[in-house]
Structure 1
Amino acid sequence: MLRRMRFRHPKRPALLLAAALLLGAAGAYTVKPGDTLFSIARAHGTTVEELTRLNHLTGATIEVGQTLWLPGEVPPTPAPAAQASDPPALPQPVPAGTSQIAGVTVTAPARLRMGDAFVLRLSGPRAGQATVRFPSEVGEDVRLPNEKLTPIGAAGEYVVLGRVVLGKTTPVVYEVSVGGDLVRGSIPVADLGQTVQHLNLPPSISGKLEDPGRKAEDAAVEKAYALRTPQVWTRPFQPAVNVKAQSSAFGQPRTYVAGGPVLYHYGTDYPAPVGTAVLAVNDGTVVLAGKYPVRGGLVVIDHGAGLTSLYFHQSKVLVKPGQKVTRGQKIGEVGTTGLSAGPHLHLEMRVRGEGTNPAGWMNRIWPR
C-alpha cells in the first residue's frame, strides 16, 4: 500500500499549441476560465455534439488550459491539379496528441499530472488489432512495467487505459503496434505541487504498520492488483460516500511518524460519521472483503480492464469475495479501523495496481 517516495526534479509541460496553429483546415482553442462546451460551440458557430465528437470527449467536463480542436474555421484552398513536375503530396497534418499508422489513428491527452489515469483512443479499421505498451515505465516504481495491453472496444473505436505513477514527472511514452507498423508518442507530466504532510501518529496507531499480519494483507491486495478480467462497467463512476469534504487529498506526500520515510497517499479520504453507507463506485466483483491490520475493514472490487477500487477503514463489511455488486450498492459502513485516527473512508482507484486520482473517474465512464 505504501511506497517510498522518489524525489525528482519536475519538468513543466511544454506548450503543444505551436503545431496546432500551423494547421489550416482545423483550429485549436485553449480553454479559458469560465468557458463551457456550450459557450465555445456558440462562439465558433458549431455544436456541443460536434466538439464532443471531434475531441473524443466522454462528458461535458473541460479544464482550463485544455486544447480543443474546432471544425474548419477557414475552408482549405483547393490544391491545383498535380503536374508531372510537382513534388509528391505530403501527408496531411494531424492534431497535436494525435498520430497515425496504417489503419489506426491514436489520440492521446495533451498533458498529464502524476497520479492521473488516462486513455489512449484508437480508431480506424485496424484499431482492434493493435497492441499498446508504455516503455517509459521501465525502471520506474511501477507494477508490471511496459505490459503488453490489448485495446477495449468495438466497431473501430477502442481505448487503452494508462496510469501515471506517483512520483513521476518525466514524460509518459507510449508505443502502438499493429502488424509490422509501430508509432511512438510522448505526453508531458507535471507534479502535484504538494508539500510534505507530517502526521506524527501516536504509537497506538502507527504501530499497526509493524503488525505481523501486514505481510499477508499486502500479499492479498497484490493478488487483486494482478487480475486482468474483461471490463464490466458501462455507466459513469459515482462517489463512494455521499459527502464532498476531504480530509486528506490524493497523492499527498506524508510521513506517519517523526523522522519516518516520506510516502505517498494513494487514495482520497472522506470524513463521515461511523455507520455512513459505503457504496460501490461501479459494477464489479468483490475479490477481497474482511478486517485487516492496516486497511481495517476492507473491500476490493474488480471492475475489469485492470481497474480495482478499494475501500478502507470500514466498521462493517457487508459483502463477500466472489459476490457481484452493482453501481451504488451498499457494501459496508464508514469506520475508523486499521491505520486510522478518526472516522473516514479511504477510497483508492488502482489501474493495474497503481494508485490513480479518484476524482478523475467520478461522473464519467473513462478518465480524461
Structure 2
Amino acid sequence: MPRSLIVLAGLLALAFAQSTYTVQRGDTLFSIAQRYGTTVEVLQALNGITNPGQIRVGQVLKLSPQPSTALLNRRTDLPAPIEALEWPRQTVQGNVAVLHLITAQPVSGQVRFLGADYPIQQNRVLLPVPALQDPGVYPAVLLLEGYTVRLDIRVVAGSFGRYILQLPPDREALLQPEKLRAERKKVVESCDWNRSQQWQGNWHKPVDSNRITDPFGTRRSYDKGVTYSFHEGLDYGVPVGTPVRAPADGLVGLAEPLFVRGNGVTIDHGDGVCSGFWHLSKILVRPGQVVKAGDLIGLSGNTGLSNGPHVHFEIRIRGVPTNPALWYWNAP
C-alpha cells in the first residue's frame, strides 16, 4: 500500500477513535457534528450545552459516550436465576435510569420509583427522572416474586437555560389551566403502556435539520417570571411544510388538532414509550396506523401555542417527558 494511503488510513482511524475535540476559531456545533459523524443533539446532550450557538474557542467537547463499568452500580446478591443487576451511578434530571438484570431467562416484576410502578420488560426497567426532580438520592424498590431489593438512584442537576416567553395576545388566550390539564391527559392516554417494544436500535431525527431553537428542559415562564415550567421536548426551527417522519417503529395513537399543541401526532413505540409531534400544518397519518422509522407522518407548521414555525418533538416514558437527544445515540 502506498505510504500516502497508509497515513490517510491512520488519520481516519485516529479521527474515528477520538473521544474529545477542542473547539477552534470558526467552529460551530453543526460543523463539528458533521466532521465526526454525529449530531448537534448528541453533542448537546453529552456536553450539557443548552444553546448550540454558545461554544467557545478552547472548549473541550466530548464526541461520544464513554461506556465503562466504573459508571455502573452492580449487585450480585439477588435470587437465582438473576446473576447480577446493573444501573447507572448517577442520572441527570430529565434522563432515563436503565436497570439491567443479567439473567439467562426472562424475569417478571416491577420497580417502585418516585411514587410510580415500572415493570421489568426484556430484563430491564426504564426509570424516567422528571426534569424538575430535585438533585439527591432516591429509593427504587425492585419487587420480584417473593423478593424485595432496595436500590438508590442518584439524581444530579442538568444544565438548563431559563427564558421568559412573550406570546402574541391571541396566543396568550390558550393558557387556560383546565384545558392544559385535559389536553395533557389526552396525550398521555393515547398510548397503551402494555404494548411490547416496537423499536430496534437508536432512533432517527424526525426532521432533516440541526437547527434547535429550544432544547429539552429549558425553564420557561409565560407570566414574566412569576412561575416556571419546563420545555418537554426539542424544538426544531424549520419552515412550514417541512416533512416530519417517524423516529422509530410504532403505532399511531393520536392524530388530530389540539387546543394548545396545535395539529398533533403521537406514536406508541411500546414498553410505555410514546413520542409526540406538535404544531404541524398537516397531519398525514391516522390513529391505529402502523408506521416504520422514516415514514412520513406530517408537515411542520405554526399551529397552537407557538411563537413561530417549528416542530416540537418529545418522548415520554409512561407519561414522563425525557430528553429525546439521548435516544439518537443510546436508545435503551
TM-score, normalised with respect to structure 1: 0.68
The answer as to whether partners of 2:203 and 2:247 remain within 8 angstroms in 1 is yes
Distance 2:143 2:15 in 1: 36
CA apart distance, 1:258: 2.3
Q: How does 1:334-349 map to 2 (within 5 A)?
A: 334-349=300-315
- Could you list the runs of 5+ residues in structure 1 that have no partner in the other structure? 1-34, 41-60, 71-94, 139-144, 153-157
Distance 1:68 1:36 in 2: 21
| Structure-1 residue corresponding to 2:101 | 122
The answer as to whether partners of 1:268 and 1:348 remain within 8 angstroms in 2 is yes
Q: How does 1:58-137 map to 2 (within 5 A)?
A: 62-63=64-65, 68-69=68-69, 97-100=73-76, 101-103=78-80, 104=82, 105-125=84-104, 128-135=106-113, 137=114
The answer as to whether partners of 2:204 and 2:248 remain within 8 angstroms in 1 is yes
Distance 2:197 2:305 in 1: 31
Match of 1:149 among 82, 98, 119: 119
CA apart distance, 1:217: 2.9
Q: Which has the larger radius of gyration?
A: 1
Match of 1:192 among 146, 153, 158: 158
Q: Deviations over 1:238-259 (max 9, x none)?
A: 0011101211110111102325
Match of 2:129 among 146, 154, 164: 164
Q: How does 1:162-241 map to 2 (within 5 A)?
A: 162-168=127-133, 169-210=135-176, 214=180, 216-224=182-190, 227-241=193-207
The answer as to whether partners of 2:191 and 2:253 remain within 8 angstroms in 1 is no
Distance 2:237 2:158 in 1: 22
Distance 2:99 2:255 in 1: 32
CA apart distance, 1:316: 0.5
| Structure-2 residue corresponding to 1:293 | 259
Question: In the alignment, residue 270 of structure 2 is paired with which amino acid?
Answer: G
CA apart distance, 1:177: 3.4
Which of the two has greater strand per residue? 2
Q: How does 1:198-347 map to 2 (within 5 A)?
A: 198-210=164-176, 214=180, 216-224=182-190, 227-347=193-313
Distance 1:176 1:274 in 2: 47
- Which shifted more, 263-272 or 189-198? 189-198
CA apart distance, 1:210: 2.5
Q: Deviations over 1:20-56 (max 9, x none)?
A: xxxxxxxxxxxxxxx999579xxxxxxxxxxxxxxxx
* RMSD between aligned residues: 2.5
- Does the residue aligned with 1:247 lie in a helix, a strand or coil? strand
Distance 1:226 1:330 in 2: 22
Distance 2:199 2:225 in 1: 43
Identity %: 31
Distance 1:206 1:260 in 2: 15
The answer as to whether partners of 1:299 and 1:311 remain within 8 angstroms in 2 is yes
How many equivalent residue pairs? 272
- Does the residue aligned with 2:127 lie in a helix, a strand or coil? strand
Q: Deviations over 1:298-344 (max 9, x none)?
A: 00000010000000000000001111111010100110000001110
Q: Deviations over 1:96-144 (max 9, x none)?
A: 5011202221110121101002321111245x22423133x03xxxxxx
Question: In the alignment, residue 133 of structure 1 is paired with which amino acid?
Answer: V
Distance 1:96 1:264 in 2: 29
Distance 2:64 2:99 in 1: 17
- Does the residue aligned with 1:232 lie in a helix, a strand or coil? coil
Distance 1:328 1:253 in 2: 31
CA apart distance, 1:174: 2.3
Q: Deviations over 1:263-302 (max 9, x none)?
A: 1111110000111000101111111001112100100000
CA apart distance, 1:162: 1.4
- Does the residue aligned with 1:361 lie in a helix, a strand or coil? helix
TM-score, normalised with respect to structure 2: 0.75
Question: In the alignment, residue 120 of structure 2 is paired with which amino acid?
Answer: T
CA apart distance, 1:236: 2.1
CA apart distance, 1:228: 2.3
| Structure-2 residue corresponding to 1:351 | 317
Question: In the alignment, residue 124 of structure 1 is paired with which amino acid?
Answer: T
